[in-house]
Amino acid sequence: MKLIKSKSTNNSSRHKIRINKKDLSKTNKLIKKLVVGKNKNGGRSTSTGRITVRHKGGGAKRNFNILSFDNNPFIGIVITVEYDSIRSAFVSLIYDIINKEFRKILNTNSIYPGSLISSGFNNLNLGCRMLIKDIPIGSLIHSISDSKNCAAYIRSAGTYGQLIQKENNIFKIRMPSGKILNFDSNTCCTIGIVSNTQHNLEIIGKAGTNRLKGIRPTTRGIAMNPVDHPHGGRTNGGRPSVTPWGIPTKGKPTVKNKKNG
């Protein structure tokens, strides 16, 4: 994908950089069962209406694509690569030759319409999903399954993990954060890197873009009243940084105070 820099006609678009999505296909309206209209609850509980997640609310109504994150075997042909409004990566619409049905999965980088992918077969090609014990050491992978046999790790745009060691049915994978996690031989994963690798180069250009995504401003605690936050009242002293619920934000102190013994 190419990056597009907006013309500096006003302040809001002067620094805006976005990805050209003209090469992506539009959602096929004939396959309605894979797309559901989503009304967000704005970070509030659906039963009590109380705020459960701060800094969320508003935003435009978006479509929710039903993706397949399971490990069921299939052989499919990629029909289209589409944009997904609720995730950073692109999605692929494939036709399952075995089950004779359509499904949507997370798109792998360098996978285009017409590509042949599979799941549950020993096929070392990009976009193919298989057991981790059949993948050679050093391979780049994503969509690693958890104990519920569902892809739970490494699903964000441009991310990947690397298989670095196999020993006694314990497989070590370096995660995008650099942390090394252990998995067993029944773990499934997809070969390749998640699509939309240039997502981190995008610049939204104005705050209104985040508001359309349902992201509200983050207010500093010191700018609040004492009843709203422990830092409130503009005292700016007397206690270390804490969360709105009084939990230290910088971790538990590990150094003993020499004055107190």
Strand partners, 242: 248
Please indicate, yes or no, whether residues 156 and 236 belong to a single structural domain of this protein: no
Residues 30 and 111 in one domain: yes
Q: Which amino acid is at 25?
A: S
- 38 and 136 share a domain? yes
Confirm whether pTM is higher than 0.85: no
176 and 234, same domain (yes or no): no
Q: How far apart are CA 150 and CA 76, in angstroms?
A: 19
Q: What is 94-131 written as a DSSP string?
A: EEETTTTEEEEEEPBTT--TT-EEEESS---STT-EEE
58 — pLDDT class (breaks 50, 70, 90)? confident
Does some domain include residue 16?
no
Tens-place pLDDT, residues 9-49: 888 888 899 888 888 887 766 677 777 777 667 888 888 98
Strand partners, 74: 119
My answer on whether 227 and 197 are in the same domain is: no
Q: Please report which helix (H) or strand (E) contains residue 189, including its range.
A: strand 188-191
Domain encompassing residue 88: 21-47+59-201
Q: From CA 159, how far away is CA 195, in angstroms rounded? A: 8
Instruction: For residues 152 and 97, state if they share a domain.
Output: yes
pLDDT at 29: 66
pLDDT of 95 reads 92
What is the chain's mean pLDDT, rounded? Answer: 88
Are 192 and 239 members of one domain?
no
pLDDT for the residue numbered 237: 63
Helix (H, G, I), strand (E, B) or coil at 34: helix
Residues 194, 133 share a domain: yes
**CA 104 vs CA 91, 93, 167: distances in Å:** 7, 5, 34
- Say if 177 falls within a structural domain: yes
Nearest residue to 64 (alpha-carbon basis) of 42, 38, 83, 41: 38
Is the distance from CB of 172 to CB of 182 less than 8 angstroms? yes
Cβ–Cβ under 8 Å, residues 202 and 121: no
> How far, in Å, CA of 23 to CA of 26, rounded?
10
Tokens of 160: 């990947």
- Report the CATH number that the domain containing residue 184 is assigned in CATH: 2.30.30.30
Query: What is the domain count for the chain?
Result: 2
